[in-house]
Structure 1
């Protein structure tokens, strides 16, 4: 079946825009990607779209750039105008369209099947910041009505509240969708009575076949009274799972198949993990229905959702139109991909934790807020990073290095400097009697820390491998020495003069006393064991900088043993 004229015109518009922008006949992939974004109904017809692009490109090959521009101005002047406006990269949060001070209501609506991730923190931060900008109301809503594929975790409800608190946000209201089944049922019955919803008995494959052909389900035109009878039977447990679905009537011939008679309720004979819900219900609202009703009940004025959920808004608007409601202003943003973590799903992480692959949700190898908190990432750094990213439809590929750079600005001025030696090798310093070494807590600041040591210290295995007999080194803040033996590793003490260090151009290396603490550092790229100075024990729950190693948060101190979590260099 050929593409309709409206679709062909859309393809031509964006092919021309690409041609005018680059002054060249467009590449198929570039135009195809744009078309799939603006016309999702064509995603199922990629071969035909490709053919249309090829035909348009062939025509452009026979004309000039001036003619391309004239044609684009004729059929889509707004796309030509876009090219004439130089777009500067925008940072921060732009004004919300249609927002009034004191009247903005926004929500963050996670499924509590695990804790917040770095990606979901974007929604936590941006929504709460917008509400703060407009002196509005912020709601944390748990979309917890899927006890099957995205089964909630009881702990996760508190985890979200705790991570919000860490970010300095206290929601004005906390709502659990699973508390509102009776309300959902009431509204479903209003739609059934008005002829806007019906009970479908087609199996999934049969309904998809009919939908793809723009053909109605045979039960679609049943009278409201008959649909109500079937609905009541669903609620009473008279049907098995997948035997009956309540669907919202839309336009069965709509050019986007995703909008044709979508499912609102299904039968699931599974319990909910919340004990007050348990096995009380067997007819469960699907997310598009539940979310639509909740946004109305909560008075939501503005929604920010992923651009991949654009169809959700289009589906939900049918309910709003049927019931005479006003749909919230909706903004869309692109996906955030974290380069270091690849594709990690919450359900996949949960399985790996249960299998012992990870130690828990705060394992430093994971992209959860719990994990980066434990590693010493500051809430101010995460907030600043996400706010500056702003709200745009462009997909974002994010490196953790960018977040680390932001965090460094916050921790560098406050982190005490400490000595920690991973993979330690002993070095005996002949002629040095030991004692108290004073070293600055911060660079170029008068405040000092005191390190007690004897004439044997430890240095890293890497530093030791680069030495040879006759090498002259400066042990930072302790003094200068010359290597006299490699096995065992020993040196003779020279002095503690920086003039000697500069004159001899000595390599400066860090060290730790052999009577120091045993330190284990856990990090996303592996674990390290070594020895650290004893003053580390006073830094519990603080971020320190292990010199020449990186910033770490001291997680626990148990006698002579310290566990630290690596943040970043």
Structure 2
């Protein structure tokens, strides 16, 4: 395939921005991250488009810093502005306002309509770290009262528990909102009795028109006694689905339409997926109401939420004022954009999985915790990655390369090395005696050696084979030196086995695999790689290894075929 003109421009602008930012040739990893974030149609074709991207980067590299700046100002001046205005976030966590040791209560409150993603992981890790810092209490609260739009998944409740524990964020208490509906009903009744809530029978479009015009709904001034009767009828099922909404009174002339008389409860007759709840309720609280009540009942002292949810806080403040409560201390943080994934939603991922686009929630192409766990990313690396972002209102744009760098520090000393040849080609060698190669299990740690029986043939990558011609001299890593004698058929002759001669003649060193090795299949964000590896790989089940000249991988299954999940370079 080739890149479209728009794709080429995207590559060029991010290559120029990278070059301008650092004053040197653009780095392909950083550029690829930005390009894949803006061009999701290229993600599954990364291997195919990489040569074209490298070519564009090569052209950019030929220019001078002055030329890079001028060209970037010409094709993407907004990226120049981004370089000037972007502030690097302070690493680490700032102190919590008015936090008292032993009295801090924080919560992470997901909707369990899918498993945790890297987006939600920030909330899990940061809340848990603050609680540890202040010897407080962490609550995992499932906000699962939307049975229709974001319908909960039964499996997701356990997935959140497992992933929180894996991340070192074991909750002190677990709350499920759908178990606590009577609590919300009780507080709704108090608000109705106080004249702060009313049952609205307007159709949604009619109410919106009134709200936009800053005009009161005709039901707004219904007496409290009559509203209580309507409320009881809602609960008893006397009204059709969506025909009545309990609304909280605010300022109907507020400058922000989102804060004018917001909905607190609606009628939905779709049963809840949890069998213990099922069709027990037909009147369900909306998220702002349920969350407001729970934060008070559970004694939440501090809330961290996205700055895009400031309206939720303002709506909830009305409920707190009417009930005489103090609102928790709230901190807002900006959005996090990860270049490799662009925009994604749990609902969208769920549809894609159901349609067969992905193999499941742990597909290595997905931004879920289940996927990165299966790839061999360590929880300590995820925690550091999230904590280093800090807590601030500045939006953050970051590449997973930062996470991979942290993970590499953890797995590099532990990962044993093995040969894996993808897209293999057989190389017949004359003049060499059958032998046993003894490559080290690790280049710096004293762990002994592997034993690989070698006959008169080995396997090499087709990509490597295509770089040579008859007469080329090559070093087979940790084995011996050969000279290519023929390309069709692919043959070589043994020269010698001294490393010194390879260095002296500047031979290219390539890896290889025995012809009697084990089939290996590697699943990665860029697709699937198949080939042959050493038999000893089977002993590394559920461990991260390094396939030399390929990358780190976690061995997922070992039988007649090794299945590995790609971790990173």
Q: What TM-score results when the alignment is normalised by the length of structure 1?
A: 0.84
The separation in 2 between residues aligned to 1:89 and 1:377, in whole angstroms, is 24
CA distance in 2, matches of 1:455, 1:162: 50
Deviations 1:497-541 (A, max 9, x none): 111111111100000000001000001111000000111011100
Q: Which moved more, 1:208-217 or 1:141-150?
A: 208-217
Aligned counterpart, 1:296: 296
Counterparts in 2 of 1:324 and 1:417: CA distance versus 1, 3 Å:
same
Superposition deviation, residue 444 in structure 1: 3.3
Equivalent in the alignment of 1:375: 375
Taking the aligned partners of 2:385 and 2:336, their CA distance within structure 1 comes to 13
Q: SS of the counterpart of 2:439?
A: strand
Alignment of structure 1 residues 328-477 onto 2, 5 Å:
328-446=328-446, 447-477=448-478
Q: Which has the higher Rg, Structure 1 or Structure 2?
A: 1
1:4-29 deviations in Å (ceiling 9; x for gaps): xxxxxxxxxxxxxxxxxxxxxxxxxx
Q: Match for residue 562 of structure 1?
A: 562
**Across the two proteins, how many residue pairs are aligned to each other?**
483
Task: Please name the residue that 1:219 is paired with.
Answer: 219
- Which secondary structure does the structure 1 equivalent of 2:299 belong to? coil
Residue 484 of structure 2 corresponds to residue 483 of structure 1? yes
- SS of the residue corresponding to residue 192 of structure 1 reads helix
CA distance in 2, matches of 1:322, 1:537: 64
Offset, 1:544? 0.6
What is the distance in 1 between the residues matched to 2:107 and 2:535?
Answer: 47
Aligned to 1:318: 318
* Mapped partners of 1:517, 1:528: distance in 2: 14
Matched, 1:551 2:552: yes
Q: Which runs of 5+ in 1 are unaligned?
A: 1-85
TM-superposed CA distance for 1:412, in Å, is 1.1
- Tell me by how many angstroms 1:356 deviates: 1.2
C-alpha displacement of 1:445: 3.7
Q: Distance in 2 between matches of 1:246 and 1:187?
A: 12
The farther-off stretch of 338-347 and 218-227 is 338-347
How many angstroms apart in 2 are the aligned matches of 1:363 and 1:374?
9
- Flag the structure with more relative contact order, 1 or 2, with Cα contacts below 8 A and sequence separation at least 6: 2
Do residues 197 (structure 1) and 197 (structure 2) align? yes
* Separation (CA, whole Å) in 2 of partners of 1:359 and 1:259: 42
Q: In angstroms, what is the RMSD of aligned CA positions? A: 1.2
Q: Which runs of 5+ in 2 are unaligned?
A: 1-85
Structure 1 stretches of 4+ moved >2 Å: 86-89, 444-447
Alpha carbons 2:415, 2:544 under 8 Å: kept: yes
Give the equivalent residue in structure 2 for 1:43. Answer: none
User: Alpha-carbon deviations, 1:452-479, whole Å to 9, x = none?
Assistant: 2212100000110011111001000001
Corresponding residue number in structure 2 for 1:495: 496
Confirm whether residue 146 of structure 1 aligns to residue 139 of structure 2: no
Q: Aligned equivalents of 1:411 and 1:376: distance in 2? A: 9
Separation in structure 1 between the aligned mates of residue 338 and residue 480 of structure 2, nearest angstrom: 44
Give the stretch that moved more between structures: 442-451 or 504-513. Answer: 442-451
SS in 1 for 2:357: coil
Asked if structure 1 preserves the Cα contact closer than 8 Å seen for 2:89 and 2:389, the reply is no
**1:66 maps to which residue?**
none
Call closer, same or farther: CA 1:175–1:374 in 2, change over 3 Å: same
Is the CA contact 2:89–2:392 (under 8 Å) kept in the aligned structure 1?
no
In 1: Cα distance, 2:188 partner to 2:374 partner = 45
Provide the C-alpha distance between the structure 1 equivalents of 2:484 and 2:494, rounded to a whole number of angstroms: 9
**2:438 aligns to what SS in structure 1?**
strand
Deviates more, 1:444-453 or 1:459-468: 444-453
